[in-house]
Structure 1
Amino acid sequence: MDWVISDELSLTVGHVVGWVSAGAMIVGGVVPYIPQYRQIKRTKDAEGFSLLVCLALLIANTLRILFWFGKHFEYPLLMQSLIMNATMFGMIHLCVRTRNKNQLLQARQRIFTDFDAKNFWNWSDFQSYLDCMLVFTIIASLLMYLFIEYIVFVELIGFLAVFTEAMLGMPQLIKNYRCKSTEGMSLLMVVLWTCGDIFKTLYFLLREAPVQFWICGSMQVTIDMLILLQVFIYKGNPDSSRLAPHRID
């Protein structure tokens, strides 16, 4: 009788752990951006955060959603992508609004429909970012609809999704290197990035997610570690981009 109770208890604990892990996967990805969001609102300065991080995550999670239609994976990972996209648009909205308020002189408006490659993903209004992602989503969805029967294409979409996400820290890594500073970047955000990516990679391994997921998750953890190393190397350095005169177009 005791062993029956023990088995039932183990099964219950297993279900609880599974639900907690799934919940952590769904909302855990957005947690690192909360301190960065609050820091930008508090300091009214968005220069330390690279919007290319948002671009990488929007592309990665849009492709992951499309990948789900070709090869179903766990619902928590799908929900995570939907919530992450909403979070990235929230970050973009805050950064665009903050940067516009901080302009001493009214700069020439840069919008998506200018189709100016030089100003790509550096537009003056939030609507342009929405328009860009809408165009990307329509094109990617059409391609997925046309080639969904081809397993090689579907697997390629899955790889591009997780590889793009794995590279999301690269814009911040490059920005820090060029400025020789991590000023304006939330250290807590990067620490939470690292912890979340380690948890996510282990989750992929234990839940036997598609192989692309855990390979690229390992790459993501490596980049997180390099950014943390930059914090140590550039500690105390001012942001050189702030010292140089800003060009007003």
Structure 2
Amino acid sequence: MEAAGLEWLLGPMQQLVSWGAAGAMVFGGVVPYVPQYRDIRRTQNAEGFSTYVCLVLLVANILRILFWFGRRFESPLLWQSIIMIITMLLMLKLCTEVRVSNDLNIKRRSFSAADSKDEEIKAPPKRSYLVSRWC
């Protein structure tokens, strides 16, 4: 008789745990990028952030969404992919803005230093990703 009395509590509890697990799965991949986004925005420095990681995650999540059209899987995984794509696009937007702003500041400083001839500020050398550093 006690087991039948607890069924009214177990059903909603199982549903709540299921929703909580799905929510953790959907938003769990985004959580590490929140402090990184805030740090890049605060310091205006995107040096430690790899845009190649964003590229790989964008490709992987786009492929997962395309796979979903062929063979349906659980919807939390689909939502996770959509949210990760949005997150990666926001991170790329922020990094691009910060890097362009920093490059413009370096060019302005080097231009003004060349005009005043007081001090020479050089822009960092352009790195070519086609040439290996170890050669």
Q: TM-score, with normalisation over the residues of structure 2?
A: 0.76
Counterpart residue number, 2:86: 86
Distance 2:39 2:91 in 1: 12
Q: How does 1:48-197 map to 2 (within 5 A)?
A: 48-103=48-103, 104-105=106-107
Deviation at 1:11, TM superposition (A): 2.2
> C-alpha root-mean-square deviation of aligned residues, in Å?
1.7
For these two proteins, the number of residue pairs brought into alignment is 111
Distance 2:125 2:33 in 1: 29
Letter in 1 for 2:8: E
Larger Rg, first or second structure (1 or 2): 2
Counterpart residue number, 2:132: none
Counterpart residue number, 1:33: 33
Counterpart residue number, 2:17: 17
Distance 2:55 2:70 in 1: 23
Q: Secondary structure at the match of 1:96?
A: helix
Distance 1:16 1:49 in 2: 36
Counterpart residue number, 1:224: none
* Structure 2, gaps ≥5 residues long: 109-122, 128-135
Distance 2:93 2:35 in 1: 16
Counterpart residue number, 2:111: none
Counterpart residue number, 1:210: none
% identical aligned pairs: 51
Letter in 2 for 1:105: K
Q: Secondary structure at the match of 2:125?
A: coil
* Structure 1, gaps ≥5 residues long: 107-244
Distance 1:9 1:72 in 2: 32
Which string of whole-angstrom CA distances, capped at 9 and with x for unpartnered residues, describes residues 212-244 of structure 1? xxxxxxxxxxxxxxxxxxxxxxxxxxxxxxxxx
Which string of whole-angstrom CA distances, capped at 9 and with x for unpartnered residues, describes residues 125-161 of structure 1? xxxxxxxxxxxxxxxxxxxxxxxxxxxxxxxxxxxxx
Q: TM-score, with normalisation over the residues of structure 1?
A: 0.42
Distance 1:246 1:67 in 2: 43
Deviation at 1:53, TM superposition (A): 1.0
> Structure 1 segments of 4 or more deviating over 6 A?
none
Distance 1:67 1:18 in 2: 24
Distance 1:79 1:246 in 2: 41
